[in-house]
């Protein structure tokens, strides 16, 4: 049975008089008070403003900006006005509401920790500046214009986990192709987001291609095939993963997303040959992909290509891993040869991004990629969920590519912290050394996965 609400006789208040808690009986006008006094029409809450969505790169508190080298031969005034930049980049900056430009100065003692904003005369920390386009801020989305010889890889890879950074290493006229497509959001592009292609070379155990096929390619394809809108239109190529079949497939299906797992070409016969084919995917027959035929029969036209292969995005002047292996090993020979080429972008992404109908983006590595990053050597635990989230959950449903790649980098700081923790408690045992080695390799592998292209590009929506 419900008990009716009785009119009270007393009230208590959470205040202490120094003698007792405050309380009191209702007064003679108490019964008229609720009739003459009503709650306000609405309440105004003055809390902090809502945080902007990180996918909204046009928001002033998120922002997009360009990082460019400090070009020699120009006056400070000309550099401030961006007179050294190609016309297409100046038009892009103007289209993006006079977006800020930051300069990398290789002669500066703080070159690897700060950049110059010449427009307002400020020096901006790469480590802890607030997000946005206001004075003293660094945008969340950054596009580096320049080769890694002009703006080093470190400026890009050291931002992973904090910002969404892409690189455009092209010069004119290829630069015009990409920027013009970017400014029109690939208007009229023919790529189909409903038909992603997964091409996975598998040479069998113990070759690393078997691991990449099983824990990356098969799982990513499973995500695509399980999508209600994609389903059987997701293409799987592994049983006979030749370069010729891949080219035929791309020309026929025009996919918006291409995922390849394979070895990357690092030929040691000659330095010219090494540079010409660096990182190009090697097929089931151990042949590098014929890029000339590829771009004769297929136009990238707005696609995004993810290539899990050694040096698929390029190489670094000073490899981090040279002293890790025996000097007489083939790994050492490859690392030393690639390092001797200097820091550079691989030829395949250069061709894709500079095509008359360019790709939106290319994702790959600028160092070798290791089996330990994919599966723990002792527990067997697989660590590819972040990559799957990037390629499926974010890129195809769709988010800016720089934001999508946050899923790859989000564990990077934790891996580094665990390494530091093991190091600080180092007891001299092989187990401790193995733990430090493992977490160091994983961290280096994650940070050297890079985005080539503008970090704001987004694939067309599934249809």
Tens digits of per-residue pLDDT, 74-94? Answer: 999 999 999 999 999 999 999
Question: φ, ψ for residue 168 (rounded to 5)?
Answer: -120, 100
Query: How does the average pLDDT of the chain come out, rounded?
Result: 91
Instruction: Write the CA distances from 61 to 80, 260, 350, integer angstroms.
Output: 23, 36, 32
pLDDT single digits (tens) 165-183: 999 999 999 999 999 999 9
pLDDT, greater one: 439 or 41: 439
Name the pLDDT band for 21 (thresholds 50, 70, 90): confident
Q: Which of 402, 19, 388 is closest to 225 using CA atoms?
A: 388
Q: Is the pLDDT of residue 222 over 90?
A: yes
Distance CA(19)–CA(26), nearest Å, equals 21
Distance CA(88)–CA(82), nearest Å, equals 12
Specify whether the CB–CB gap between 266 and 275 falls below 8 A. Answer: no
HSE, side-chain direction, 13 A CA sphere, residue 193: 20
pLDDT single digits (tens) 383-440: 899 999 999 999 999 999 999 999 999 988 888 899 999 999 999 899 999 899 888 8
Question: φ, ψ for residue 233 (rounded to 5)?
Answer: -75, -15
- Residue-level pLDDT at 37: 66
Distance CA(70)–CA(114), nearest Å, equals 13
Torsion angle of alpha carbons 211, 216, 217, 220, nearest 10°? 160
Single pTM value for the model: 0.89
Q: Is the pLDDT of residue 40 over 70?
A: no
- Residue-level pLDDT at 313: 97
Structure tokens at 392: 């499926």
- Residue-level pLDDT at 39: 66
Distance CA(157)–CA(316), nearest Å, equals 12
Distance CA(301)–CA(42), nearest Å, equals 53
- Residue-level pLDDT at 46: 61
Task: Report the 10 Å Cβ neighbour count for 227.
Answer: 17
Task: Report the 10 Å Cβ neighbour count for 136.
Answer: 13
371-393 as b/e, with b when 16 or more CB fall inside 10 Å? Answer: bbbbeeeeeeeebbebbbbbbbe
């Amino acid at each position: 049975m419900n008990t009716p609400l009785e009119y009270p006789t007393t009230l208590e208040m959470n205040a202490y008089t120094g003698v007792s808690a405050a309380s009191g009986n209702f007064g003679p006008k108490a019964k008229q008070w609720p009739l003459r006094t009503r709650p306000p029409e609405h309440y105004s809450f003055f809390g902090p403003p809502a945080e902007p969505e990180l996918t909204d790169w046009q928001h002033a508190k998120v922002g997009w900006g360009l990082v460019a080298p400090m070009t020699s031969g120009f006056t400070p005034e000309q550099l401030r006005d961006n007179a050294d930049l190609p016309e297409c980049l100046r038009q892009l900056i103007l289209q993006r509401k006079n977006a800020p430009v930051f300069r990398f100065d290789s002669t500066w003692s703080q070159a690897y920790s700060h950049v110059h904003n010449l427009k307002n005369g400020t020096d901006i920390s790469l480590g802890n500046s607030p997000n946005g386009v206001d004075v003293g801020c660094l945008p969340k989305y950054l596009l580096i214009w320049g080769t890694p010889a002009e703006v080093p890889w470190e400026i890009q890879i050291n931002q992973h986990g904090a910002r969404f950074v892409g690189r455009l290493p092209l010069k004119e006229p290829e630069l015009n192709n990409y920027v013009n497509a970017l400014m029109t959001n690939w208007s009229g592009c023919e790529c189909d987001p409903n038909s992603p292609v997964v091409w996975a070379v598998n040479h069998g155990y113990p070759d690393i291609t078997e691991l990449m096929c099983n824990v990356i390619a098969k799982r990513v394809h499973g995500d695509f095939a399980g999508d209600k809108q994609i389903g059987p239109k997701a293409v799987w190529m592994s049983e006979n993963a030749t370069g010729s079949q891949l080219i035929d497939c791309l020309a026929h299906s025009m996919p918006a997303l291409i995922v390849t797992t394979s070895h990357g070409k690092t030929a040691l016969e000659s330095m010219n040959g090494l540079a010409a084919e660096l990182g190009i995917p090697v097929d089931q027959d151990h042949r590098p992909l014929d890029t000339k035929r590829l771009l004769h029969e297929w136009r990238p036209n707005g696609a995004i290509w993810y290539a899990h292969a050694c040096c698929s995005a390029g190489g670094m002047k000073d490899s981090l891993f040279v002293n890790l292996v025996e000097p007489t090993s083939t790994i050492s020979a490859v690392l030393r040869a690639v390092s001797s080429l200097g820091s550079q972008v691989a030829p395949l992404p250069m061709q894709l991004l500079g095509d008359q109908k360019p790709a939106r983006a290319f994702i790959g590595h600028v160092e070798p990629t290791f089996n330990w990053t994919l599966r723990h050597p002792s527990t067997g635990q697989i660590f590819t969920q972040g990559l799957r989230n990037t390629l499926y959950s974010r890129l195809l449903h769709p988010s800016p590519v720089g934001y999508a790649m946050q899923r790859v980098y989000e564990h990077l700081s934790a891996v580094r912290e665990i390494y530091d923790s093991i190091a600080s408690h180092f007891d001299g045992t092989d187990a401790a050394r193995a733990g430090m080695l493992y977490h160091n390799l994983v961290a280096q592998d994650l940070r050297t996965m890079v985005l080539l292209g503008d970090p704001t590009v987004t694939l067309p929506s599934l249809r």
